[in-house]
Amino acid sequence: MNSIDLKYGCNPHQKQARIYMEDGSDLPLVVLNGNPGYINLLDAVNSFALVKELDKALNLPAAASFKHLSPAGAAIALPLDEKEKQMYFTKQELSPLASAYVRARGTDRMSSFGDFVALSRECDEITAKCLNREVSDGVIAPSYSKEALEILKKKRRGTYNVLQMDATFEPGAIEKRSVYGITFEMERNSVIFDESYLKEVVTKNKEFTDEQKRDLIVASIALKYTQSNSVCYAKRGQTIGVGAGQQSRIHCTRLSGEKADHWSLRQHPKVLNLPFIKGLSRNEKDNVIEQYLSEDRETDLLDPEVSKRYFTHPIEDLTKEEKMEYLAELDDVVISSDAFFPFSDNIERAYKSGARAIVQPGGSIRDDSVIECCDEHGMVMAFSHLRLFHH
């Protein structure tokens, strides 16, 4: 099939919408279930390209959680530690692909609500079961086991979008788009970010650990598919904070840093031991944790009348001082930026969230002050000379 008609475009009043191959060839994707929309398919195609690159770069199963043309999270398959199992509400044994999915979804569970999921390898039964318990619009993968497909076809009363993508498909060298009746054309960004982009270390600290190299690759490939300006924090083979679409670089660093802080604080003992009442859904727990960690709560969770809606007994607050003390202990986070850091304030902000290794293109007239700031904190930074803007 070389064309699929869609129910509408970005909005319901944009009635005429379809996807097709301009050269008349068959589409590289097949709809196995559901009726995906225009935005669903944009997310599906971009997210599959991301996980395909992650898998190729690190030779591990990869997963991504996509919302509105940017990843809410992306991860490779590493086993979950005990804290991660608890913070992701996961007790069962996971397959490698399932662990990648759970970790990608766990980057920013609030933003991932109603996401589109991409998997780099065949979706197995365990991964399908993990998908089945989350609120999601659809999934794209190169194939599905019989058991997995049966589970997913029943999700959302049989309307869940299940797409199969030809993993061997390679798009052409030139990309085109039409905006306001004008056709834009450019060479596709086919570069694969790997360790070769980490060779030019410009700080006094010259050594990346193997884990830092891995995480910088994860963060940088994620940025390649994140709406610019964008900055990404990563740890243990997964993104932990993605800041997308900000006009200012420091706002990007702050936004992604706040998300990274939130991810880290979800592992604080007070959060892990919140005494939830039985019957609360995973999404309800996420909402409560979000408010518990927020400085500007919509609900007073410490009020006894409010508290009993969510908890078996009254809870203690997690104070600002306790948060700062916990975050100050972090030292194993990395950060990647899709363009150069123009000022050292970005470095200061990243350091506060535990970032100790950085990759960025370089090329600012203030590179020297940015390097000096890294040296003051003992950080290691490489210039990749590779901008990763995505629009």
95-123 confidence digits (pLDDT tens): 999 999 999 999 999 999 999 999 999 99
Closest CA relative to residue 244, chosen from 68, 35, 57, 62: 68
Q: Angle, nearest 10°, between helix axes 345-352 and 249-265? A: 10
pTM of the entire predicted model: 0.95
pLDDT of res. 379: 98
**Nearest-angstrom CA–CA distance, 222 and 239:** 8
Q: Which CATH number applies to 191-265+327-383: 3.40.50.10190, 3.20.20.100, 3.40.140.20, 3.40.50.300? A: 3.40.140.20
Structure tokens at 374: 């890294």
pLDDT of res. 299: 82
Positions in the chain whose pLDDT score sits under 70? none
Q: Is the peptide bond before 229 cis (omega within 30 degrees of 0)?
A: yes
By residue count, the chain amounts to 391
**Nearest-angstrom CA–CA distance, 197 and 212:** 13
pLDDT of res. 40: 95
Would you say the CATH fold of 191-265+327-383 matches that of 3-170? yes
Give domain limits for the chain.
3-170, 191-265+327-383, 270-317
- What's the CATH number for 3-170? 3.40.140.20
pLDDT of res. 91: 87
pLDDT of res. 226: 96
**Nearest-angstrom CA–CA distance, 268 and 87:** 10
pLDDT of res. 5: 92
Q: Which residues are catalytic?
A: 67-68, 229, 391
53-81 confidence digits (pLDDT tens): 999 999 999 999 999 999 999 999 999 99
pLDDT of res. 217: 98
229-282 confidence digits (pLDDT tens): 999 999 999 999 999 999 999 999 999 999 999 999 999 999 999 999 999 999
